[in-house]
Chains A and B, each alone.
Chain A
Amino acid sequence: MTGSVETPTAVQSADTQLYDCRDAFENKLRELASHDHRIVAVVNDSVGSSKLNQFGQMYPVRLVNVGIAEQNMVGVGAGLANGGLIPFVCGAAPFLTGRALEQIKADMAYSNQNVKLCGMSSGMAYGELGPTHHSIEDMAWLRAIANMTVIVPADPVETAQAVEAAATTYGPMFLRISRLPVPIVHGPDYRFQIGKAALMREGSDVTLIANGVLVARAIEAADMLAKEGVQARVLNMSTVRPLDVDAVISAAAETDGIVTVEEHTVYGGLGGAVAEVVVQNRPVPMRILGVPGVFAPTGSAEWLLEHFGLTAQGIRDAALDLIGARA
């Protein structure tokens, strides 16, 4: 493989314990804040939604609560950055991104301010609360904006490293932090790099490209496929912008097709980003798994993931279908 990743980084035996990535986010932010006084957090009322209660207890002045006002929150973040601070602007992803999109575009991205936007409980994590509370368009919206870096960590290990990378790398960024319980998929030697895909499983028959909470399911699907004699490569594409173009082209060149998997609409997200590279460089068959352009019906987050086939079984079926179509 000629891409940026050489050795699989996934832990070999499945850890059965599940984690809420917001804990890793908050722990790392508090640790970084202890030695970098420029780090501040900005929230819109819901300190608990971003799990920032402990941060607020340790750094009460550096937890800026603007109330329920997302447009102002992002503008305030840009102003804090103008004043030399490093604001982590945290809120429930659907409201943070949808309500404040013009502020994200003009005040953060076009102004090129060093603001770190943290979209909590992204995807369909709010389940039964319904489509108003689902954030399944944020990757498409934010990756369309120039200057933006868009990161979707897969587990607590990667979340912590992504927070550190965000704090130490200049530029407007969006971190998409889930509340859905996920297993640890990265080993202790894993080193997250902005813009680099992580190779989770080597394979030459088909490539599964996932991010966020669905990486663990893609790995599980690869294990199922392996038992059926299909060697699936698995990439954790945690940075959606800038995309790891080399890893995508290598996957297209070295395997028979690509299945993308995202907790997001299939319009313009991870699948769209990968397809843009594939069709212009190395066309191969693809399947784009996600929410198929509908508002989700009522159901828990777990039920909705199953409903839309975003399970190990669903990913395995899509991969076999893809290879079958190719054969």
Chain B
Amino acid sequence: MIDTQQVDAQKVDKLRKMAAAVRRRDLQTVNRAKLGHVGGEMSATDILVTLYFAVLHVDPERPDDPDRDRFILSKGHSAVALYTTLAHRGFFPIDQLDTFAQPLSKLNGHPDRNKVPGVETNTGPLGHGLPVGVGAALAAKLQDSSWRVFVLTGDGELQEGSNWEAAMSAAHYKLDNLTVIVDRNRLQQGDWTEQTMHLEPLADKWRAFGWSVQEIDGHNIPQLLQTFSSLPFEPGKPSCIIAHTHKGQGVSFMRDRAGWHHKVPNAEELALALAELEEVTP
């Protein structure tokens, strides 16, 4: 008889190790390219790894499978976290990450669906992912298809009005195959979101727009797994997960520091960061 708790513990342990591996490779890639947005990449990593290794129905061998689940990285500046996750999931060779931001690389500073298998739409400017996600979820409904759509947005990004146009339409069309995950790391490029432009009460805003909302710890993998397995939260409503996270999660001197939004770690900082991430998952 299989002990399900034992299986779950193994699964969680595997995901934790993968998240640490993705964080390490992300930081190495950014250090090498001298370009990246490590703060928001570290905050999104546990979400990305849980989705790609335990939730999404995607096949790296068939990235264009019409019935695949769609994942859209609306916070396109966290491209390296997405690339690293896709590479570890088998969409392209991990070594290709070394080409990031180099001339003619397929791995641009922001993701390009025409060059990178697994990317659904080209993002970079903020507030673009959710409208496209609404369209893809609607396409599934119109064709009686069972694929699901997941959109990861930043929190500062929600200051863009286009998100709220999309939020309204998702509820109107009862898109319970659509989930938005808000990477609520509370920091935007220059400062705390609440100092820059108030987002709170954020959960109430989504609820008022007709979404079913849950707030979770975006670094707690068992909680992420449990939450994703309970989708949709309510039939007939789109689901919103407000994932409370920390910019720079996993590296003590980056954690919750606005300065690490797009600062590039030098060799010394990289070594310190990698050592910390090794300690987390030996």
**Which of the four size classes fits the interface of chain B?**
35 or more
- With known contacts A66-B169, A71-B162, A76-B169, A82–B128 Cβ distance under 8 A: no
CA separation between A102 and B120, bound complex, in Å? 17
Is there a chain B Cβ closer than 8 Å to A78's Cβ? yes
Is there a chain B Cβ closer than 8 Å to A299's Cβ? no
Contacts of A102 on B, CB cut-off 8 Å? 125, 128
Is there a chain B Cβ closer than 8 Å to A187's Cβ? no
User: A82 to B162, Cβ gap below 8 A?
Assistant: no
Contacts of A72 on B, CB cut-off 8 Å? 131, 134, 162, 165-166, 168-169
- With known contacts A84-B66, A107-B122, A111-B122, A75–B139 Cβ distance under 8 A: no
Count of A-B contacts with CB under 8 A?
A: 112
User: A75 to B166, Cβ gap below 8 A?
Assistant: yes
Is there a chain B Cβ closer than 8 Å to A79's Cβ? yes
Is the contact region of chain A dominated by helix, strand, or loop, or is it mixed? helix
User: A64 to B138, Cβ gap below 8 A?
Assistant: yes
User: B135 to A82, Cβ gap below 8 A?
Assistant: yes
Contacts of B169 on A, CB cut-off 8 Å? 66-67, 69, 72, 76
User: A80 to B165, Cβ gap below 8 A?
Assistant: no
Which of chain A's residues 50-86 have a Cβ closer than 8 Å to chain B? Answer: 61-62, 64, 66-67, 69, 71-72, 74-85
Q: Which of B114, B122, B138, B145 lies in contact with A79, CB distance below 8 A?
A: B138
User: B134 to A79, Cβ gap below 8 A?
Assistant: yes
Is there a chain A Cβ closer than 8 Å to B70's Cβ? yes
Contacts of B20 on A, CB cut-off 8 Å? none
Is there a chain B Cβ closer than 8 Å to A319's Cβ? no
Which of chain A's residues 73-126 have a Cβ closer than 8 Å to chain B? Answer: 74-85, 87, 102-103, 106-107, 110-113
Is there a chain A Cβ closer than 8 Å to B78's Cβ? no
Nearest-neighbor residue (CB-CB) of B133 within chain A: A79
Contacts of B121 on A, CB cut-off 8 Å? 78-79, 82, 107, 111, 113
User: A107 to B139, Cβ gap below 8 A?
Assistant: no
User: A85 to B142, Cβ gap below 8 A?
Assistant: yes
CA separation between A139 and B134, bound complex, in Å? 28
Closest 8 pairs (CB-CB, A-B): A79-B135, A83-B139, A75-B131, A72-B165, A69-B165, A76-B135, A79-B136, A79-B132
A-to-B contact residues, CB < 8 Å: 40, 61-62, 64, 66-67, 69, 71-72, 74-85, 87, 102-103, 106-107, 110-113
